[in-house]
Structures are given as C-alpha cells and as structure tokens.
C-alpha cells in the first residue's frame, strides 16, 4: 500500500506491517524544508495510530543522501523568533519517532548531515550503507543543531566525542560511526534495505507490547524528569497483565513459537 506526499513516500507492506517512509527530494539531496518536516509529522501520527503499521523504516531517495541537512535558503529567511519556533516544532516531530512504541530503524543510504543526522538519531536504530557519511556541521554556518542533536549525540557517543564532532563540524564515515556507536550496523549499499527489513522481522517476531515497553523504559532512563528504574518496575507489572505475556510463557512451556496478538 503506497501513499505519496509531495516530499515523502509512504509505503506500507501489509504482509509484514513494515512502513517505509522515504524522504523524497533527490534534487535537494533530500534536505529538510518546513513542508517536509510537516509531512514527517503527519506521517508519524498516521503510522502510530494505524494498527496495520507494526514498524517503521525511514530512509532517503536515491543513493547519495539520507537527508543532507536542512534547507539553508529557507532557514536564512527566518527571524530569531521564527527559528526558535521551527526548532521546537522539529524537536516535537522527531520525538514522535524516538517515543514510538513500534520499532523505528533508519536506513542511512548516504549523507546524513545536520537535520538528517538528527532525524537518524531520533530513530531507535541506525543501519548505514558503507557509503554513508554522518555529521553535524551547523557551526560552519554560525548555527547549532536545532532538532535535538545537542542532546542525542552525547547519549549515543559520549559527551567528549559529541562535542568534538559538533565543535569541529567534522564529517565521519560509516565505519567510524559504527565504532563510535552512532551506527548499529554497516552494510553494502545494495544490501541496506534488505538487511533493515530482516532486522525488523527479527524484532516483529517478538511480543509487540513488550517491544513498546522496552523502548518506553530506555527513553525514561535518559529523561531527567523520570525515574528509569521506577518506570521499568511499573512497565514490568503492566507486561504481566497482557495476553502476550500469557501466550509467550505458554509457548515456552509447550516448546512452540509464540503467536502474539499485541495486547
């Protein structure tokens, strides 16, 4: 099932429940403008509300870029107040992927720079093509990351390395991203989407409610407003009330594959 926005392709594989979202502005190296971020917002809301969507695979069109940054010409025209509002809105949009109870994997097929790197970091996992490049080069423009990059990059690679990458505006290759923990896997470009779909299939064979609870608890541990251990204990109790728990334990006893219903 395929639906097309102006700047985004929305393609749901009904058989697997995997929704592929493709940022589709190849002439601009898939750079994020306001319209594209609004479409990501609408697509995320729709995907999270649609029970047919079990997981999200986020990528960019073509082989050159995942998302090569923000639309600089559009940004340059903003006032300070408008820029702060655009940053806050982008943060809210990206947070929908981070907080999704459905697994979200970024297939980084090329340049993931600036807002593109920030979008990839908002996904639960990142699989990079061997041709991919990552970076937050905003200081080269007299700016700073505005869609959560200053917060998520230190979580992934540590404070010192994150500061080095942001303060130097250095761009790193896929193998370096893997070494630092920014990427989970690096695969040949031609194998990227297939690898990501296999990875998601492994996740989707597990209990859907439990997947969402794991994501919720990990996020809670990185939120200074929450008690991660308390969130885990509360979620553990909730899991015991689900049909998935009953099916999972019964299947284990009976030595058969579990058939989860997601409730």
Report, as residue numbers or ranges, the catalytic residues: 118, 138
Contact indicator for 10, 4 with CB cutoff of 8 Å = yes
How far apart, in whole angstroms, are the C-alpha atoms of residue 53 and residue 116? 23
Of the candidates 138, 140, 182, the residue with the CA atom closest to the CA atom of residue 161 = 182
114: tokens are 């600036």
How far apart, in whole angstroms, are the C-alpha atoms of residue 12 and residue 76? 35
Contact indicator for 48, 102 with CB cutoff of 8 Å = yes
Give the residues across from 199 on adjacent strands: none
What DSSP character marks residue 52? T
Contact indicator for 214, 228 with CB cutoff of 8 Å = no
Q: What is the largest CA-CA distance in the chain?
A: 64
Contact indicator for 86, 38 with CB cutoff of 8 Å = no
**Helical segments of 132-207, H only:** 149-157, 159-168, 174-180, 192-204
Angle at 154 between CA 149 and CA 158, to 5 degrees: 155
The SS3 of residue 77 is coil
Angle at 156 between CA 213 and CA 142, to 5 degrees: 125
């Amino acid at each position: 099932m395929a639906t097309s926005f102006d700047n985004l392709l929305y393609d749901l594989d009904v058989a697997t429940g995997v929704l592929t979202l493709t940022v589709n502005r190849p002439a601009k190296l898939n750079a994020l403008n306001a319209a594209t971020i609004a479409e990501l917002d609408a697509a995320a809301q729709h995907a999270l509300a649609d029970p047919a969507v079990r997981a999200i695979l986020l990528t960019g069109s073509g082989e050159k870029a995942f998302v090569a940054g923000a639309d600089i010409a559009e940004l340059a025209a903003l006032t300070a107040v408008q820029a702060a509002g655009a940053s806050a809105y982008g943060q809210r949009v990206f947070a929908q992927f981070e907080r999704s109870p459905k697994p979200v994997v970024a297939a980084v097929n090329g340049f993931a720079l600036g807002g593109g790197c920030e979008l990839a970091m908002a996904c639960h996992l990142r699989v990079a093509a061997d041709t991919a490049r990552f970076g937050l080069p905003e200081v080269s423009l007299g700016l700073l990351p505005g869609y959560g990059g200053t917060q998520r990059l230190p979580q992934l690679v540590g404070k010192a390395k994150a500061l080095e990458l942001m303060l130097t505006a250095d761009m790193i290759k896929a193998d370096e991203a893997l070494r630092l923990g920014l990427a989970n896997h690096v695969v040949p470009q031609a194998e990227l989407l297939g690898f990501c779909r296999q990875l998601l299939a492994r996740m989707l064979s597990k209990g859907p409610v439990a997947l969402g609870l794991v994501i919720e608890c990990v996020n809670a541990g990185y939120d200074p407003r929450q008690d991660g251990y308390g969130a885990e204990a509360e979620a553990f109790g909730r899991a015991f009330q689900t049909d998935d728990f009953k099916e999972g334990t019964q299947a284990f006893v009976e030595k058969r594959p579990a058939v989860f219903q997601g409730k």
